Amino acid sequence: MHYKSGSQIREDFLRFFETKTHRRVHSSSLVPQNDPTLLFTNAGMNQFKDVFLGAERREYSRAATSQKCVRAGGKHNDLENVGFTRRHHTFFEMLGNFSFGDYFKREAIAYAWELLTSPQWFGIDPARLYVTIFEGDASVPRDDEAEQLWIETGVPKDRIFEMSAKDNFWQMGETGPCGPCSEIFYDLGIEASETGEDKPFPHDDQRYVEIWNLVFMQFDRTITPEGPHLTPLPKPSIDTGMGLERVAAVLQGVLSNYQTDLFTPLIARAAELTGFSGLTTAEASVSDAKGAASLRIIADHARAATFLISDGVLPANEGRGYVLRKILRRGIRHGRLLGQEQPFMHEMVLAVRDEMQVAYPELVETAPRIAKVVLAEEEQFARVLTNGSKLLNENIAEKQNLAAESDEQILGPFRVDIDPSEQEAIVKRDRAQANIFEGVIAFSLYETFGLPKDFIADAVRDAGLIFDDAGFEAAKEEEQQRARASWKGGSQKSASPAFRELPKTEFEGYTALRVDGAKVLALVKDGVGVPVLAAGESGEAVLDVTSFYADSGGQVGDVGWLYASDHHTVIADVSGATKPVQGVFAHRIVAKQAIAVGDVVDTVVDRENRLATERNHTGTHLLHAALRQVLGTHVKQAGSLNDPSRLRFDFSHFAQIAEPELREIESIVNEQVLGNTKVETLVDVPIDVAVNELGAMALFGEKYGDKVRVVKIGDFSVELCGGTHTGATGEIGLIKITGESSVSSGVRRVEAISGTGALGEFRRGFELSRVVGQLTGGGDVDALRHKISAQDEELKKLKRELDQLRMKAASASMSDAAGSAVDVKGVKVLAQRVDSLDKAQMRDLVDQLRGKLGSGVVVLGAASEGKVTLIVGVTKDLTGKLQAGKIVGHLAGIVGGRGGGRPDLAEAGGSEPGKLDEALKAAAEFVGASL
């Protein structure tokens, strides 16, 4: 065994399987395509999931990949372990070889052993390898076949261990493909043991590291009334996975993945950027010393963030963006622990680019944009940390105020009704609770603001309070359970047998809107194949040939009709088409008369509907190119919709598009339309040629094979696309942008119309201009805008004057505040109703009245539109005896509401206006009982 770099290992793996007639397949995006059950791509088989499920077919039956993976949220969440163990990562690469019904156990085992042990390849000493097999259970027998094949390959029987289903039986979900697996382990030696004991395999998971898992997919799992049922697959398949980082550690002779050349340059750069010089790079890669883990975390999280943003994920408060934000903020926080208060993570992006650009050349183009995103997040997080610290201090002060309360304040106004022994118990309980800083509050600060747990705990203890560690961990576990549940997504089922074994539908819709003589291959109703659909019944029809485009690439499926063999009679209305299995077109139909399997029909697409959709789809390509021209090449598609009525385009961008920019984009697009440029379609183009030579843009959410279809519009736009388009741009007529909005953080949306839709918009605009002329005496839109603006300013002025009059009237009615207040045990209490004021005015009035009282309690109430507002103010000298929050809470209960706030000012709402007077009268009584 000799040293190999991480890049060499990746290349050698793929090259080895190419010698075994496997197709080298590009890594798919970290954002799973068309799979709602996954948060991120987390295994090599994800991009082949539909192939294993029978819903997709490929032109090859053997494949090998190096797949980008992230495990940092949902079911697979390694985030908290990263940096503190030798082998946990958020981002990693999974090497894998796959057989789709081609070879099975014998070949998979032989290939794995050859690659690992042959001196020509990895050259690992067989004496340091162990393998496991499935021990069997009530449903599936012991995998004797795998054991025998390992023995034939040269593995001694005493190095083959049987394991339970937990470790050695794999299933895709509750249903679908599954089967036993066989894992290969490498013995790092006794020096890898944490305890120093010489334990035999498999009793030391630090010494014996799993490097490769071979999954033998040989069953289809279904759920029956009697329970799970396993049916042998007609074509068993192979799915393997080997972590690049782990095998790099083995081949480079180190104990930790962080000691490999995949990480050491990044750790060194992290130390340089944070100014941390306490350890050498080698020490930081494996040491337990203070700061070492932080450097490893920064290196790992920089890789994850860089690749996630490159694949279109942006920081957000939910979903994938939320996980990315947690990863980034965790990395930033560990930089701060090393003493770096200034932004630095954006510089780590460039370090990742330098280390990974050979395998992932797209980073050369995307890294500057990624760095901008990371820098913006660093700057926002700095502001969040400031706000979080402020809120932490406020919560601590509130706890200290509660702890300082007298026994009488704790018991409240109704202590006279409580037995003395019970009073003592209440005081004891509440005092104990007041000294505890609840874990749920601490976790909220940790989760929302990214305040480190240790930081919160230290501040709490410094304030003389007790940190509720158990409550914090319980809140954290609850959040993780929610995250796992939110991405559980339900298992994806295998494709319905009604569609699975059907031949592909021949699509002639690129060149014809009508196809005569199509044969009905299958009829499906409620997911079950049927021989006939009677008149009036709805279902799906699969034909051997069709002119109907099926939903794909943002373009909606065609609508139209199926005609009988007489070519004149409509036999069914078609409301759309889908592809339940790749290449199989299912037409959604309502039968006008009986239609049966074996019938011959004509497929007729609604021409006007198709042409309108094509205008919008071609318009989308023009819009995409214009956006990149005006806003920058960071613009990438994040979703689209093209139907007959409109086009909608979502794309990555960080700010609202200014009106002048929108006008420029619209002008550029329409220049292309007026130029009547030919729209060329190139078919069966090798994907490398399309992307690297033609410069084609790949569309979000689409899967591409090795041969692709390219749509080229002069030198203006080149995209990979399977949709239908106009013959030339002039057929679009005109494109009118109708709206621009935000979809989520970093994603904007532009909507537009074309053709007759644009004509309708201009007609409406013309009518509007006529009305403008009438309102402005012949003036233009600017004149109308000026007139409306002037009226708006006048309205605002009148409203301000009215508000001022209301405040003056309210203040005047209470000019003798001291005279209106009642004396309650030496405390002045003023309670008044002020229905004419809004909440902000009530707050101002409370402040005025507290000033006039000098010392006392002010209670204001207002009722409007069926709702009640209560505001209570207590002067500072009385907050040790009376708290505004408790007063307003009691009064809110009378008007059917709730509220709270600071000891000196508190607010509440209510839903029973009829009880407002009663609540105001109760104020003095409650204050008296509280004193």
pLDDT at 157: 94
Mean pLDDT of 867-874: 93
Q: Is the pLDDT of residue 111 over 90?
A: yes
Closest of 190, 187, 193 to residue 210, by C-alpha: 187
Of the given ranges (39-53, 59-73, 110-124, 425-439), which has the lowest mean pLDDT? 425-439
Write out pLDDT tens, residues 305-329.
Answer: 999 999 888 888 777 888 898 899 8
Mean pLDDT of 731-753: 88
Q: How far apart are CA 459 and CA 813, in angstroms?
A: 48
Mean pLDDT of 94-123: 95
pLDDT at 486: 43
pLDDT at 853: 87
Mean pLDDT of 794-819: 70
Q: How far apart are CA 585 and CA 228, in angstroms?
A: 31
pLDDT at 745: 66
pLDDT at 633: 80
Write out pLDDT tens, residues 179-227.
Answer: 999 999 999 998 888 788 889 998 888 899 999 999 999 888 888 887 7
The H or E element spanning position 638 is: strand 637-642
Q: Is the pLDDT of residue 77 over 80?
A: no
Full DSSP string of 423-468 = HHHHHHHHHHHHTEE-HHHHHHHHHHH---HHHHHHHHHHTT-EE-
- 450 burial (CB, 10 Å; 0-12 / 13-18 / 19+) is buried
Highest mean pLDDT of the ranges 43-52, 793-802, 877-886: 877-886
Write out pLDDT tens, residues 357-377.
Answer: 988 988 998 899 899 999 988
Write out pLDDT tens, residues 640-657.
Answer: 899 999 999 998 887 889
Q: Is the pLDDT of residue 416 over 80?
A: no
Of the given ranges (374-388, 432-446, 536-550, 624-638), which has the lowest mean pLDDT? 432-446
Q: pLDDT exceeding 90 applies to what percent of the chain? A: 48
pLDDT at 501: 79
Q: Note whether 897 and 919 are within 8 A (CB).
A: no
Q: Is the pLDDT of residue 489 over 50?
A: no
Q: Please indicate whether residue 328 or residue 73 has the higher confidence score (pLDDT).
A: 328
Q: Please indicate whether residue 393 or residue 34 has the higher confidence score (pLDDT).
A: 393
pLDDT at 797: 79
Q: How far apart are CA 825 and CA 119, in angstroms?
A: 95
Interhelix angle for 244-251 vs 6-18, to 10°? 110
pTM of the model as a whole: 0.64
pLDDT at 587: 96
Q: How confident is the model at residue 5 (pLDDT cuts 50, 70, 90)?
A: very high
pLDDT at 649: 93
Full DSSP string of 723-773 = S---SBGGGG--EEEEEEEEEETTEEEEEEEEHHHHHHHHHHHHHHHHHHH
Q: Is the pLDDT of residue 692 over 70?
A: yes
Helices (H) and strands (E) in the chain, counts: 27, 37
pLDDT at 605: 97
Q: Is the pLDDT of residue 396 over 90?
A: no
Q: Please indicate whether residue 319 or residue 345 has the higher confidence score (pLDDT).
A: 345
Q: How confident is the model at residue 417 (pLDDT cuts 50, 70, 90)?
A: low
Mean pLDDT of 367-396: 86
Residues 6+ positions from 579 with CB-CB distance below 8 Å: 550, 551, 552, 585, 586
CA 46 to chain CA centroid, Å, is 17
Joined tokens for residue 849: 């009245």
Residues 6+ positions from 452 with CB-CB distance below 8 Å: 333, 337, 446
Q: Is the pLDDT of residue 487 over 50?
A: no
Q: Is the pLDDT of residue 406 over 60?
A: no
pLDDT at 488: 37
Q: Note whether 111 and 164 are within 8 A (CB).
A: no
Residues 6+ positions from 591 with CB-CB distance below 8 Å: 533, 534, 535, 536, 537, 538, 539, 571, 572
Q: Is the pLDDT of residue 818 over 80?
A: no
Highest mean pLDDT of the ranges 530-534, 633-637, 899-903: 530-534
Q: How confident is the model at residue 848 (pLDDT cuts 50, 70, 90)?
A: confident
Question: Count of CB atoms within 10 A of residue 505's CB?
Answer: 23
Q: Could you give the angle at the alpha carbon of 343 between the alpha carbons of 340 and 347, nearest 5°?
A: 105
> Average model confidence (pLDDT) for the chain?
86
pLDDT at 229: 84
Residues 6+ positions from 764 with CB-CB distance below 8 Å: none
- Using CA atoms, how far residue 889 sits from 438, 544, 569, 646, 870, in Å, is 21, 72, 74, 52, 10
Of the given ranges (94-108, 324-338, 777-791), which has the lowest mean pLDDT? 777-791
Q: Is the pLDDT of residue 171 over 60?
A: yes
Q: Note whether 165 and 137 are within 8 A (CB).
A: yes
Residues 6+ positions from 320 with CB-CB distance below 8 Å: 31, 39, 40, 73, 308, 313
Q: pLDDT exceeding 70 applies to what percent of the chain? A: 88
Q: How confident is the model at residue 776 (pLDDT cuts 50, 70, 90)?
A: low
Q: Is the pLDDT of residue 481 over 80?
A: no
pLDDT at 828: 93
Q: Is the pLDDT of residue 494 over 80?
A: no
Joined tokens for residue 371: 């760095």
pLDDT at 495: 62
Stated length of the chain = 931
User: Over the Cα atoms of the chain, what is R_g?
Assistant: 35
pLDDT at 296: 92
Highest mean pLDDT of the ranges 115-119, 279-283, 850-854: 115-119
